[in-house]
Structure 1
């Protein structure tokens, strides 16, 4: 029995077991080659494909702005272990599996002024491969008192950014607004609007400040709905939580 056990142990030395589950890359040595003479020999590289890690960075200035907004009550940040990410593939196709942030570096890279983060992303169909560059969207929290406004509604002049709204009296008014980036095809408006405001999206060329306007619900460009008469399409400002 001792000889059998010794033989099994020696036979086990002929097998190399990967410490992780994944896909092996190109072999670095050929069958029959002598390996392990005084130092470790690289046989191959095993890449873990499911799940995958996505490494990315975020500017320290952006983090400071988020923290300041959270202290002022404008933003409610998500818990570190519940921050979600979604990615878009290089061809513009949305990736179906969302991920979560599982690591954030405790220091800032002085060369780039950014912090390194890492997301854990399911990859059950092996759609993604290590080394692929993707576009990542990070959901860090919810912004309070913010509104999504179609880009066509936002105008600019020498005084800044503004929109035209229709008041309760049916008259067109000029309203200065503050924008903070975009989400999809919409501007994120953080100041200047209140819930329920009717923002004019189309027919802007025919509008005059103080003039009367009749509004109709606005439809995205893909819609087949058409405006009739002198009506202006308006989008209701809704809380952008």
Structure 2
């Protein structure tokens, strides 16, 4: 008879399910004990620092002025017959501009001639009388009194003749003044007096003739900038041309280069307390008359040099709590943070005055993935063609606001007058731009507007600070620093809000 046996659970052989669970548990424990795979080294582009002499330019907003502007005025009172010249035309020296009514002045000439003839006749009679009196007085036939009277009448008649000559000369001169000519060759202005108007000393201004060549180009340098230049020259950071013989280039309002260059001919030693600037004047040959008085232009000064200078791209420089810094890859291939002192802009680069040496390897792209001690994979930095094609200036002009080609859009950040601090509304705009950049928009260009009037240099410095503030805020909001470019300030087309804004242009 078959009997059943019960086996205790603890002695039962393991089932397939139990074995599977055990294997999974063991595998999981094994994974927990394994070290995570190492992160791949960060890939960065690196620029090896070079020290070289860099020619630089300084650029200023300037205004043209005629080297000789002559006010054409009537020199006699009378009726203006007609304007002879064409208003606004170029006139030659000696060319007739206005003709006044000559009839009254011709009558004065005729009267002066008649008076002179009468006095000459009286002189003849007085001379004949004197000639008869002299021998008679010598023979004592006439008294000494008779001789003295005859001599006195002669002298009076001779003086009257000289007086009449002077009066005739004056009358002829006044007659000549009725034909008004230009003393110089230049461009004429409008006629301030209409034909037929009576001209007197109160309305004697008729027009202006302005010499076109040479043309003066006036610009102002702020007291702060003048002090900075002196300080940099003293420290050896800047070398000026011998005798301050800068070459002055002129750029017209449409961006075209004026064909002639000039030289600085005058620097006002007096400080203008109203504008806070010193006046500088350059003289430029203008034989074709392309430049006209009172035009706004840009004056670009060449001839200065930064000796043994270090230049690195703008995006390599980052802003930290303690100021500007760059990432440097040391000999061990590790990243280290290096504080730097930045100078002027030079196209898309900064001059570095302190903190870097020749041979240092500075990270240009990829710095946001680094931390001190990070091992990085290095590739050489290759500048873009557009960056290398741009010239070297302290402030290379950027594309005018709103005129950049191939842009996906632009946003305006408004500042309070005289302020370079972002308010809450501006920070919201910056945050939206930063989010868009993180999500795939290519590049960002920050361009500040500078007010045209007042202290031009101070206005430009304020615009630069505003642009840097926006750039730093974009980086803080998460936008990659290597994709942000600072454009040089542009002149505001108007005053008020237009001169207090920064445009953020996002590129495609």
Question: TM-score w.r.t. structure 1 length?
Answer: 0.72
Cα offset, 1:118, TM superposition: 1.0
Q: Which residue of 1 aligns with 2:379?
A: 215
Q: Return the structure number with greater relative CO, CA threshold 8 A, min gap 6.
A: 2
**Change beyond 3 A, Cα 1:85–1:188:** farther
Q: What is the distance in 1 between the residues matched to 2:338 and 2:259?
A: 39
CA contact (8 A) 2:189 2:207 kept: yes
Q: Which residue of 1 aligns with 2:184?
A: 20
Q: What is the distance in 1 between the residues matched to 2:359 and 2:178?
A: 73
Q: What is the distance in 1 between the residues matched to 2:372 and 2:215?
A: 55
Q: Which residue of 2 aligns with 1:56?
A: 219
**Change beyond 3 A, Cα 1:199–1:98:** farther
Q: What is the distance in 2 between the residues matched to 1:171 and 1:93?
A: 48
Q: What is the distance in 1 between the residues matched to 2:213 and 2:364?
A: 45
Q: Which residue of 1 aligns with 2:345?
A: 182
Q: How does 1:63-212 map to 2 (within 5 A)?
A: 63-139=226-302, 141-210=304-373, 211-212=375-376
Q: Which residue of 2 aligns with 1:236?
A: none
CA contact (8 A) 2:315 2:364 kept: yes
Deviates further, 15-24 or 151-160: 15-24
**Change beyond 3 A, Cα 1:166–1:96:** farther
**Change beyond 3 A, Cα 1:135–1:176:** same
Q: What is the distance in 1 between the residues matched to 2:363 and 2:335?
A: 9
Cα offset, 1:105, TM superposition: 0.7
Cα offset, 1:23, TM superposition: 1.1
**CA RMSD of the aligned region, Å?**
3.4
CA contact (8 A) 1:81 1:102 kept: no
Cα offset, 1:158, TM superposition: 0.6
**Change beyond 3 A, Cα 1:177–1:127:** farther
Q: What is the distance in 1 between the residues matched to 2:323 and 2:297?
A: 34
Q: What is the distance in 1 between the residues matched to 2:295 and 2:227?
A: 29
Q: What is the distance in 2 between the residues matched to 1:185 and 1:20?
A: 47
SS of 2:274's equivalent in the other structure is: coil
Question: TM-score w.r.t. structure 2 length?
Answer: 0.37
Cα offset, 1:164, TM superposition: 2.0
CA contact (8 A) 2:252 2:298 kept: yes
Q: What is the distance in 2 between the residues matched to 1:100 and 1:55?
A: 12
Q: What is the distance in 2 between the residues matched to 1:96 and 1:173?
A: 49
Cα offset, 1:191, TM superposition: 1.4
**Change beyond 3 A, Cα 1:38–1:152:** closer
CA-to-aligned-CA distance 1:44-81 (integer Å, 9 cap, x gap)? 21122333212121112222222233223332222445
**Change beyond 3 A, Cα 1:13–1:112:** closer
**Change beyond 3 A, Cα 1:50–1:167:** farther
CA contact (8 A) 2:364 2:381 kept: no
Deviates further, 112-121 or 128-137: 128-137
**Change beyond 3 A, Cα 1:86–1:192:** farther
Deviates further, 71-80 or 45-54: 71-80
Cα offset, 1:40, TM superposition: 8.7
Cα offset, 1:18, TM superposition: 3.1
SS of 2:376's equivalent in the other structure is: coil
**Change beyond 3 A, Cα 1:19–1:192:** farther
SS of 1:174's equivalent in the other structure is: strand
**Change beyond 3 A, Cα 1:32–1:149:** same
Cα offset, 1:32, TM superposition: 6.8
Q: Which residue of 1 aligns with 2:470?
A: none
